Structure formats: structure tokens, C-alpha cells
């Protein structure tokens, strides 16, 4: 099993941002396989849409570090671990700016980036970025097209309905084209992964409902069917499981759930988000070490 962890980025962890490099190197030396960041632009005080099906937004989202800066620090401090975004809200970023940031992390890390992208759920974040909340899927599609053009052409240009990139010189290329993983549970989003994604980023809640592994397999089947229809090999599309751990959850339950879902699905690449079960970087490191031992036992 490949085991990764979220980097210190939110809530009380963000206030210890000076220790990101220490956290990254410590977990790399401990045997972690990947390190991850997410993205929150703002936490609305009166949200139209809450987080995770609720009417509210977690207090931890009130204090957030920039994902590119955090990932860049981790890239410079490590040599082996993969570095991923789960997820960047792609339509909030102009493609040229997004391509430059991702290329920078890919170059600094010598080819270890996984670019995880999604469309987000917060109307207020779109308003803050001055991007319409409508047509998010179409904006994501065009952003993917624009990234492909920038990464593979010189000069590079893209003209779409929602995003444009003027013709320009594009000599700095990634070490290799970063694999693009997409977060999706809707039929349209899953089909998009099958047609053009390099990977899928589903989520495992702990505690969670029984039979979660079987549900993931049903969703993965939609991806595979779309891949076949597009003339692609489904086996070439990776899956990385994000494990969201609720506050107060016993670590034995976390390990048991991960082992069970991996056994049920065969998806053996996971990363764990310790945001709600730790209150400091030291606590994160101790908890990560405990989970590594339990999951590798």
C-alpha cells in the first residue's frame, strides 16, 4: 500500500507554516509515499452552500495557507515523495497562471507532481475570484485543453468559449507532463475522467457508511466504461483514495477502514487528512507515525 498525508495547511496547522519543511522531510524519512495540499480561497460567513452536505463551513477553513507555496516548500525539502493537489479548483485560475504554478512545482520537485483538479462547490469562492459559478464543468474542460496546449506546444495558444491564452513562447516545460487527476462523483464528472483524466480522486469518510468500497467500485465502473468508449485503457487511469477522518475518531478504526476499503476495491494508493484529529504539527507527525505503523503491519 502507498500511504500519504496532507501537509499542514489549515486551521491551527497553518499557524505553524514555518514547520512545513520539517514536517515534509520527517514524513519522507518515516516512509510516507506522498504529501498533499488542498485549496480554499475564502470561507464565507453566510454560505449559500455549506461543506460536505452541511449548511456551515468548518472553522478550520478560516485559516488557510496558499497551496502552491506549501507544495513548493515541500518540493524543495524532499527528494522522493510524490506531491499532489487534492484539489485545486481549476476554474478559479486563469490557465496561463495555473500552468506556470504547476510547472514550477514540477520542475522544483524533479517530476513528482500529481495535479489534482476539481470544480469546487462554493459560490462565494467563485465570486471572490470574479468567475461565474455557472458552466463550471465546461470551464474545467477548457482549462484542461489550455494546459495541454501550454505544456506541449511552443509557441502555445488556446481560444475557448470561457478561457483564452494568447499566443506566446512557452519554452519552460515540465519535467514530464504532470498527470492530471480529477475529483468527481457525478456521472458527468466520472465520464470526464474516463475520457481524459490520468487518475481519479475519490474520498473515504471515517467513520463512514458500510459498503463504501462497493460504492466506489460502482463509480469506478462509470469511469472505465467511458474510457473504453473513448478508446482508452481503463487500467492506465489511477485511483488515489483520500481518507477524511472525523474529529475524535479512534486510529484503530481509521486503519481498519482503510484496510477494508483497499481489500474491497484493490485501490492501494491512499492519503490521510489529519486536520480534524490533530491540533499541531507535532501531533500530526505523531499521528502519522502511528498510522504508518498500523497500516504497514
Q: What is the pLDDT at residue 53?
A: 83
Distance CA 27, CA 82 (A): 12
Query: What integer is the mean pLDDT of 104-129?
Result: 97
Does residue 6 have a pLDDT over 90? yes
CB 256 within 8 A of CB 197: no
Residue 52 has pLDDT above 90, yes or no: no
190-221 as b/e: b if 16+ CB within 10 A? bbbbbebbbbbbbbbebebeeebbebbeebbe
- Say what the pLDDT of residue 27 is: 98
C-alpha cell at 74: 515541500
CA 206 to chain centre: 18
**DSSP bridge partners of 116:** 181
* Cα–Cα distance, 34 to 82 (Å, whole number): 4
Residue 37 to residue 53: CA distance in whole angstroms: 22
C-alpha dihedral, 112 to 286 to 292 to 182, nearest 10°: -40
- pLDDT tens across 258-271, in order? 999 999 999 999 99
Domains defined along the chain, listed by start: 2-296 (3.20.20.30)
Quick one: pLDDT at residue 137?
Answer: 96
Mean pLDDT, residues 123-142? 97
> In 52-71, which positions are buried (b, 16+ CB within 10 angstroms) versus exposed (e)?
eeeeebbebbeebbebbebb
Q: Is the pLDDT of residue 297 over 90?
A: no
Amino acid at each position: 500500500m502507498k500511504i500519504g498525508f496532507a501537509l499542514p495547511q489549515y486551521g491551527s496547522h497553518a499557524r505553524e507554516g514555518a514547520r512545513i519543511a520539517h514536517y515534509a522531510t520527517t514524513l519522507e524519512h518515516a516512509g510516507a509515499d506522498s504529501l498533499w495540499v488542498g485549496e480554499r480561497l475564502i470561507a464565507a460567513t453566510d454560505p449559500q452552500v455549506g461543506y460536505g452536505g452541511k449548511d456551515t463551513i468548518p472553522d478550520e477553513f478560516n485559516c488557510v495557507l496558499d497551496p502552491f507555496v506549501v507544495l513548493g516548500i515541500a518540493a524543495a525539502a524532499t527528494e522522493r515523495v510524490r506531491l499532489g493537489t487534492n484539489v485545486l479548483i481549476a476554474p478559479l485560475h486563469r490557465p496561463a497562471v495555473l500552468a506556470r504554478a504547476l510547472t514550477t512545482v514540477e520542475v522544483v520537485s524533479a517530476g513528482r507532481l500529481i495535479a489534482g483538479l476539481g470544480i469546487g462547490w462554493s459560490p462565494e469562492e467563485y465570486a471572490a475570484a470574479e468567475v461565474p459559478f455557472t458552466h463550471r464543468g465546461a470551464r474545467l474542460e477548457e482549462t484542461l485543453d489550455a494546459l495541454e496546449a501550454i505544456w506541449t506546444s511552443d509557441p502555445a495558444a488556446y481560444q475557448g468559449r470561457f478561457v483564452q491564452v494568447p499566443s506566446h513562447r512557452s519554452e519552460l516545460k515540465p519535467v514530464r507532463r504532470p498527470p492530471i487527476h480529477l475529483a468527481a462523483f457525478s456521472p458527468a464528472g466520472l465520464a470526464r475522467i474516463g475520457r481524459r483524466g490520468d487518475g481519479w480522486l475519490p474520498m473515504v469518510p471515517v467513520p463512514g457508511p458500510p459498503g463504501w468500497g462497493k460504492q466506489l467500485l460502482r463509480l469506478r465502473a462509470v469511469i472505465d466504461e467511458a474510457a473504453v468508449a473513448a478508446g482508452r485503457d481503463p487500467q492506465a487511469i489511477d485511483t488515489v483514495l483520500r481518507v477524511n477522518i472525523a474529529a475524535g475518531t479512534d486510529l484503530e478504526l481509521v486503519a481498519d477502514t482503510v484496510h477494508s476499503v483497499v481489500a474491497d476495491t484493490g485501490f492501494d494508493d491512499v492519503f490521510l487528512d489529519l486536520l480534524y484529529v490533530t491540533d499541531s504539527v507535532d501531533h500530526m507527525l505523531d499521528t502519522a507515525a502511528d498510522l504508518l505503523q498500523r497500516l504497514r503491519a
